[in-house]
Amino acid sequence: MAVNILFAAHPERWDTYQAPLETALSKAGVAARLSTSLPAEEVDYIVYAPNSEVQDFTPFTRARAVLNLWAGVEDVVGNPTLRIPLARMVDHGLTQGMMEWVTGHVLRHHLGMDAHIHGQDGVWRKTIPPLAQDRPVTVLGLGALGRACAEALRALGFAVTGWSRSPKDIPGINCLAGDAGLRDALRTAEILVLLLPLTAQTENLLNTARLALLPRGAVIVNPGRGPLIDDDALLDALDAGHVGHATLDVFRVEPLPPDHPYWAHPRVTVTPHIASETRPDTAAQVIAENIRRGEAREPFLHLVDRKTGY
């Protein structure tokens, strides 16, 4: 019998995801009825994105799991009507995209590329950057994305420190945890990459006191979530020159309002939440595999821990 899968995401996503999902489900051997509209009581699985119309999961009485299309789950994990397993997106297309974006932006700042790209003014600026081995980079968050980025930066030669909630042992990376670990991770960070999920514990993690721990002139690269940073504190630190530059992909309000001070700030680069987009072809395979597992009564992959919120 076919399983009923509700595609509960913004309608424009349907055009992008329908064919990849149908192909992936067929390859996974799952006979499925996939639709943007099904009677709630007939739905077996919900493929979900936060801007979906579905906010109340109560009517989905036989649904076995909600399968989030994005890696971040802050918009759904706290929904009190959600009482079935929630899986998030962990996918090699998403990971590869993030590694490319993070290494690109770290190299931009490490090499001081801006001076040459914007400085075609007849001045022979022969400033030699240090080798990567002499550039300490810290990655906050060592999960699917943070670890891959830390390892890619390490492979380029950077001196990488990583910080996570639980202690880790990753070859070549100085792994820290806990409050004291965070202080040490910030004190050395000439370039700081934020790849933490947004939870009650991580909101405003980068506040005035923690920004003050960074070396003067440090660069912040944030593809994690906007509210990880206290915006006013960051603007003050940028104005004071304590933070040399912030490359920000994510914001408290998205799209970032046109009059937001970040747009015009000379030390800020804004990118429009493009660090890594979920890739339909590879993401569809992850969704299909989880549905196959659900039907085979095997454990779901990438389940969100509702207690930690990620």
Which residues are identified as catalytic? 225, 273
**Which residue reads 């680069």 in tokens?**
269
In the complex with ligand NDP, which residue's Cβ is closer, 223 or 294?
Answer: 223
What binding mask, one character per residue, do residues 124-143 give for ligand NDP by CB under 6 A, x or -?
-----------------xxx
Q: Which residues pair with 162 in a beta bridge?
A: 139, 175
Q: Shortest Cβ distance from residue 109 to ligand NDP (Å)?
A: 18
What is the C-alpha to C-alpha distance for residues 185 and 233, in angstroms, rounded to an integer?
19
- Cα dihedral 149→249→211→190 (10° resolution): 40
Q: Shortest Cβ distance from residue 235 to ligand NDP (Å)?
A: 21
Stretch that binds ligand NDP, among 36-44, 51-59, 121-129, 219-227 (CB under 6 A): 219-227
249 binds ligand NDP (CB under 6 A): yes
**Residue nearest to ligand NDP according to CB distances in the complex:** 143
Q: Which residues pair with 290 in a beta bridge?
A: none
283 binds ligand NDP (CB under 6 A): no
Q: What residue type is 294 in one-letter code?
A: G
20 binds ligand NDP (CB under 6 A): no
Q: What residue type is 170 in one-letter code?
A: I
Name residues whose C-beta falls within 8 Å of residue 112's C-beta, 6 or more positions apart in sequence. 127, 129
What is the C-alpha to C-alpha distance for residues 92 and 95, in angstroms, rounded to an integer?
5
| Six token digits for residue 295 | 């039907």
In the complex with ligand NDP, which residue's Cβ is closer, 38 or 256?
Answer: 256
Positions 152 through 181 that interact with ligand NDP (CB under 6 A): 164-166
Which phi and psi (to 5°) does residue 101 adopt?
-65, -45
- Contact (CB, 8 A) for 191 and 219: yes
In the complex with ligand NDP, which residue's Cβ is closer, 3 or 13?
Answer: 13
Among 81, 201, 204, 208, binds ligand NDP (CB under 6 A): 201
Applying CB under 6 A, the site for ligand NDP has a residue count of: 29
What is the C-alpha to C-alpha distance for residues 182 and 204, in angstroms, rounded to an integer?
14
- Cα dihedral 276→294→54→86 (10° resolution): -60
Among 82, 193, 235, 275, binds ligand NDP (CB under 6 A): 275
Among 5, 46, 144, 185, binds ligand NDP (CB under 6 A): 144
Q: Shortest Cβ distance from residue 302 to ligand NDP (Å)?
A: 8
Stretch that binds ligand NDP, among 2-10, 32-40, 113-121, 273-281 (CB under 6 A): 273-281
| Six token digits for residue 63 | 């649904």
- Contact (CB, 8 A) for 110 and 307: no
| Six token digits for residue 294 | 């659900």
195 binds ligand NDP (CB under 6 A): yes
Stretch that binds ligand NDP, among 8-16, 58-66, 191-199, 256-264 (CB under 6 A): 191-199
Helix (H, G, I), strand (E, B) or coil at 145: helix
294 binds ligand NDP (CB under 6 A): no
Q: What residue type is 20 in one-letter code?
A: P
In the complex with ligand NDP, which residue's Cβ is closer, 22 or 100?
Answer: 100
Q: What residue type is 196 in one-letter code?
A: L
What residues make contact with ligand NDP under the rule CB under 6 A?
71-72, 90, 94, 141-146, 164-166, 195-199, 201-202, 223-225, 249-250, 273, 275-276, 310
